Amino acid sequence: MNILEVKNVNKRFGGLQALGNVNLNVAENTVHAIIGPNGAGKSTLLNCLVGKLIPDTGSVMFDGRSVLGRKPYEINQMGISRVFQTPEIFGDLSVQENMLIPCFAKRDGAFALNGYGSVGSQRDVIDKAEEMLVEMKLADKRHMHAASMSRGDKRRLEIAMCLAQDPRLLLLDEPTAGMARADTNNTIDLLKQIKEERDITIAIIEHDMHVVFSLAERITVLAQGTPLVEDTPDNIKGHPKVREAYLGESQDAA
């Protein structure tokens, strides 16, 4: 079954056709990669899924329900969590507090005037946050100022925050961009482990072919705002159109 169905989505920025007739189906409990050269429209497509942008035409269905016209927080509450190209965390708060916020959002919804009891007295939320910190190997940093962590740790924290909400669909925008090889490999292992341990669908945008071929079960190639092909990793590797449009140089680099 498809958890995400994108049909005939178009998006223009002035004279630029950023997305042209995009169709994309993501099957439940798979890892689906979206690749394509710079400016292909990958981030724009993601923005259309999470309510940051509204497509000019077309439909986006998540789990049988349309996401169009909904606010980002509503779409998140439907079960879509997003990790950004540059980590978006609460830099002024401690790592533990960062972890608590999605846990409260999951328990109390989009808004709760919960001004009476102290944070420390909400055992269920504290425990859930602690569990995630331990699982993501961030427990020893729990009192650290989030802004002062390394980029790799920030990314890990952001992924942990998204996972704490038990999303059904996790969207990752270039999670390894700017990472050293070792960190990239750690991220691959982490994502593999996440996929093994829970019922989750992952859609990942990535330039690093090593990451893509280690994780993806299906790959969509986007070029100039239009899907070129969609297939399994093995078929994509040998596809002449893809090699021409995108892979040739990247594979040498990887």
Partner 1 sequence: MLGLNKKDLGVLLLVALLAMAAPILLNPFPADSGMAQFNAGYPDLMQRFVIFGIFAIGYNILFGLTGYLSFGHAAFLGVGSYSAVWMMKLLSMNVIPAILLSVIVAGLFSVVIGYVSLRRSGIYFSILTLAFAQMSFNLAYSVLTPITNGETGLQISLSDPRILDGANAPSYPNLFGAQMNSAATIDVGSWSFTFSVGYYLCALLMLVAFYISIRIFRSPFGLMLRAVKSNQQRMNYTGLNTKPYTLAAFVISGMYAGLAGGLLAAMDPLAGAERMQWTASGEVVLMTILGGAGTLLGPVLGAGFIKYFENIFSKINDNVLHGWFSFMPDGIEDFIITIIHPFVGKGWHLTLGLLFMLVVIFLPGGLVEGGQRIGRLFRRKKADTNTPDGTKTPAE
Ligand X SMILES: Nc1ncnc2c1ncn2[C@@H]1O[C@H](COP(=O)(O)OP(=O)(O)OP(=O)(O)O)[C@@H](O)[C@H]1O
Binding site for ligand X (CB under 6 A): 13, 16, 18, 36, 38-44
Nearest Cα to Cα of residue 19 among 227, 225, 222, 220: 225
Q: Note whether 198 binds partner 1 by CB under 8 A.
A: no
Least gap, CB of 47 to ligand X (angstroms): 7
The strand pairing partners of 203, in sequence order, are 32, 171
Shortest spacing between CB 39 and Mg ion, in angstroms: 8
- Quick one: what does residue 13 bind among Mg ion, partner 1, ligand X, none, with the CB cut-off 5 to 8 Å set by partner type? ligand X
Are the C-beta atoms of 8 and 45 separated by less than 8 Å?
no
Q: Which residues pair with 6 in a beta bridge?
A: 24, 60
**With b meaning 16 or more CB within 10 Å and e meaning fewer, what string describes 215-241?**
bbebbbbbbbbbbbebeebeebeebee
Q: Is 145 helix (H, G, I), strand (E, B) or coil?
A: strand
Taking alpha carbons only, the member of 208, 248, 247, 249 closest to residue 231 is 247
Which of residues 40 and 105 has its CB atom nearest to partner 1 in the complex? 105
Q: Which does 110 bind (CB under 5 to 8 A by kind): Mg ion, ligand X, partner 1, none?
A: partner 1
Tell me the closest approach of the beta carbon of residue 213 to ligand X, in angstroms: 18
The number of residues that bind partner 1 (CB under 8 A) is: 40
Q: Can you give the binding site for Mg ion, defined by CB under 5 A?
A: 43
Name the site residues for partner 1 (rule: CB under 8 A): 50, 71-73, 76-77, 81-82, 84, 88-93, 97, 100-102, 104-106, 108-122, 125, 161, 165
